[in-house]
Amino acid sequence: MVKRYSFDPFINTGAVVREVPLSSSEPKPFSLSNGVFSLHMDEHMRIYGLGESIRGINKRGWIYESWCSDDPFHTEEKRSLYGAHNFLLFDGEERFGAFFDIPGRITFDLGYTDSDTVVITPERFALDLYIITGESLKAIVSEFRTLIGKSYLPPMWAMGYGQSRWGYVTEADIRRCADAYRDARIPLDMLYLDIDYMDSFKDFTVNSERFPDLGAFSAEMKERGIRLIPIIDAAVKKESGYDVYDEGHREGYFCKDEQGEDFVVGVWPGMSVLPDFLNPQASRWFGMKYKRLTDLGIEGFWNDMNEPALFYSEKGLNNAYKEIKELDSKRLDALSFFGVRDTLVRLQNAEDDYKSFYHETPEGRVRHYDVHNLYGYRMTESAYNALCELRGEPPLLFSRASYIGAHRCGGVWTGDNHSWWSHILQSLQQMPGLNMCGFLYSGSDIGGFNGNCTRDLLIRWMSFALFTPLMRNHAAFGTRSQEAFAFGDTEVFRHIIELRYRLIPYLYRSLKEAVERDEMYFRPLVFDYEDDEIAATVEDQLMVGDRLMIAPVYRQNAAARHIYLPEPMTQIRMHEGDISTEELNEGWHYVSVPLGDVVFYTKSPLELAKPARNVGELNFDDTETVGS
């Protein structure tokens, strides 16, 4: 059951698709005073949800803030990442879900300040609150999901493995990568194009020296079973003569400052402007620009920098110049040096900039700051609507920033993680939260984005990520190569990636069913075994689809780990491409998992396809059954 409480919302966020009558009762079990929702927690209460956020599956004990942020350091003390997913599931003596539908900042203190108390503080008291009850954790999630509408389902080929790297600059770089995968006989379905394919980082342009004929190149790759997936950034280069800028400027489709002038920010293309994705005309206009790339045979995109990320604004930069000039006249001491340094650092994603521009929405003019968390969502929606219209079917599409609602239009990747062991576990722990909020097609940058990857890290990361719907290896500019062929011996990677393809019949069916039935693809164990007190504390295993359980190794040098089975299961082991099984009883086991073996568990027989070079070549009818 869903109850809705309304507290002066000034904009329809679009998150909710079902009409829910207003409830006049108190928003129980919260108590509300002075614009703050609070709740006393019993000793055993656990809290799930909050989508893409850091720390454990059970969120109790930390403080979170929804504020879509371009922050490439996903360390434990952070409160926000790229998404704003304000759904929580409280599991104590009282069991209920709560969705705080608010486009701006909101803080969730989940027993951080006072370990027995939840304190939820919307910065501006303008929101809808939905309280959701149901028979089980799963039922509450499903009820919530029917409220927010069906999740995005990508085309089947998007279940293939993808290789990406910020640093493939030319057609030759991409072809070399494709060839290396072919030569190593490692399956591959997608190669990603990062910002360097563009002409001066201008959206919807192609650098003609680097890619003389993208249409022909994309056809050549497709012939080989590989799709090219270009990036699109949110901001548009401010340059007269660049038609996207000229048109948008003329039509008033960019966000405006206080005086009604286009608000100018610095991002990759240099001085840039921000499409007003909250203005339906502007959104449609921008979305239709993807046609330039679909006309070249492109079938999928990733949307980046849509928090929106701002390196600086024209306004902020001018203020900083002034400060530096003043300093010039003083004698430079350490404190003024640090002052100036901080001024420059603070230019990035500055709160003052987010307060300095406006959107034209159907509800009137709104300040960006108050609706900040909707921007990435609306960019994804812009692309999704246009691409569905242009293609007659959904594209491959995923985004960095998001709000609930965007789950209907695309997936998400979890942004700029690091080549750190802790980020394998972090990624695992993010998946169920994302799934609760409807983001099913998701995954992390395999091998880690920032920092240098090592062979063992990549093997372990992939052995987990082969279960994530979005399976993409991606790395930052200037980092060490981390493709599956980069570490000399390719066999070990070929076996792992082949296992992914062998599992696609099961994984894609699980994804599709999760979409159709408003369910989760990844679940914490406790969702399936509610009365099992041990299952409720397991933070490094997940259920995948209706019958699999995974328990990956994510520690450096570990060659074995403890796993917990809530019921007897068949252990499936892939060793050098061969599959073997073993029946295990319920309870704890210490399982040997040498580097390169993939070990997982099934409750009932599982079908495995034969390996294939790409999804198109997979034979869904030729499967073998393993497990009992």
Binding positions for ligand MIG, rule: CB under 6 A: 166, 194-195, 231, 304-305, 400, 415-416, 449, 474
Write down the least CB distance from residue 385 to ligand MIG, Å.
23
**Cα 277 to Cα 264: distance, rounded to the nearest angstrom:** 16
Query: Is the Cβ of residue 400 or residue 500 nearer to ligand MIG in the bound state?
Result: 400
CB neighbours (10 Å) of residue 215?
14
Write down the least CB distance from residue 166 to ligand MIG, Å.
4
Nearest CA-CA partner of 251 in 273, 231, 230, 218: 273
**Per DSSP, what are the bridge partners of residue 364?**
361
Structure tokens at 98: 């709560």
70 is catalytic: no
Question: Which SS3 state, helix, strand or coil, does residue 489 take?
Answer: coil
416 is catalytic: yes
- CA angle, 343 as apex, 338 and 344 as ends, to 5°? 100
- Cα atoms found within 13 Å of the Cα of residue 159, Cβ hemisphere only: 25
**Cα 489 to Cα 503: distance, rounded to the nearest angstrom:** 23
- Cα atoms found within 13 Å of the Cα of residue 33, Cβ hemisphere only: 3
Question: Which SS3 state, helix, strand or coil, does residue 464 take?
Answer: helix
Write down the least CB distance from residue 70 to ligand MIG, Å.
7
* Residue number of the CB atom closest to ligand MIG: 166
Write down the least CB distance from residue 476 to ligand MIG, Å.
6
Pair 105, 63: CB distance under 8 Å:
no
Strands 161-163 and 471-473, by their bridges, are parallel
Write down the least CB distance from residue 423 to ligand MIG, Å.
14
Write down the least CB distance from residue 214 to ligand MIG, Å.
18
Q: N- to C-terminal Cα distance for the chain?
A: 37
* Secondary structure E strands in 484-586: 522-523, 542-544, 548-550, 560-565, 569-575, 578-584
Pair 482, 509: CB distance under 8 Å:
no
Question: Which SS3 state, helix, strand or coil, does residue 149 take?
Answer: coil
Among 143, 307, 381, 483, the active-site one is 307
Query: Is the Cβ of residue 140 or residue 244 nearer to ligand MIG in the bound state?
Result: 244
**Conformational region of residue 87, where left means phi above 0, alpha means psi within -120 to 50, and beta covers everything else:** beta
**Cα 267 to Cα 68: distance, rounded to the nearest angstrom:** 17
**Cα 501 to Cα 609: distance, rounded to the nearest angstrom:** 7
Looking at this protein, which amino acid is placed at residue 161?
Y
Query: Is the Cβ of residue 91 or residue 304 nearer to ligand MIG in the bound state?
Result: 304
Query: Is the Cβ of residue 198 or residue 549 nearer to ligand MIG in the bound state?
Result: 198
Looking at this protein, which amino acid is placed at residue 351?
E
Query: Is the Cβ of residue 349 or residue 435 nearer to ligand MIG in the bound state?
Result: 349
Query: Is the Cβ of residue 377 or residue 449 nearer to ligand MIG in the bound state?
Result: 449
Write down the least CB distance from residue 455 to ligand MIG, Å.
22
Nearest CA-CA partner of 439 in 234, 217, 144, 221: 144
Write down the least CB distance from residue 480 to ligand MIG, Å.
15
In b/e form, how buried is each residue of 367-388, taking b as 16+ CB within 10 angstroms?
ebbbbbbbbbbbbbbbbbbbbe
Q: Residue 296: what are its φ and ψ, rounded to 5°?
A: -95, 10
Pair 275, 286: CB distance under 8 Å:
yes
**Cα 437 to Cα 98: distance, rounded to the nearest angstrom:** 11
The residue whose two tokens read 């070079």 is 613
> Any residues with CB less than 8 A from the CB of 597 and at least 6 apart, and which?
573, 574, 575
Query: Is the Cβ of residue 194 or residue 299 nearer to ligand MIG in the bound state?
Result: 194
Pair 237, 245: CB distance under 8 Å:
yes
**Cα 111 to Cα 156: distance, rounded to the nearest angstrom:** 42
Write down the least CB distance from residue 305 to ligand MIG, Å.
6
Query: Is the Cβ of residue 268 or residue 506 nearer to ligand MIG in the bound state?
Result: 268
Among 304, 370, 519, 540, the active-site one is 304
Write down the least CB distance from residue 360 to ligand MIG, Å.
27
Strands 190-193 and 227-233, by their bridges, are parallel
Looking at this protein, which amino acid is placed at residue 400?
R
Query: Is the Cβ of residue 217 or residue 449 nearer to ligand MIG in the bound state?
Result: 449
Write down the least CB distance from residue 321 to ligand MIG, Å.
23
Task: Report DSSP state, residue 450.
Answer: B
Question: Which SS3 state, helix, strand or coil, does residue 1 take?
Answer: coil
Nearest CA-CA partner of 387 in 193, 237, 229: 229
546 is catalytic: no
Write down the least CB distance from residue 69 to ligand MIG, Å.
12
Among 143, 416, 528, 597, the active-site one is 416
DSSP string covering 563-589, please?
EEESS-EEEEEEETTEEEEEEE-SEEE
> Catalytic positions, please?
304, 307, 416
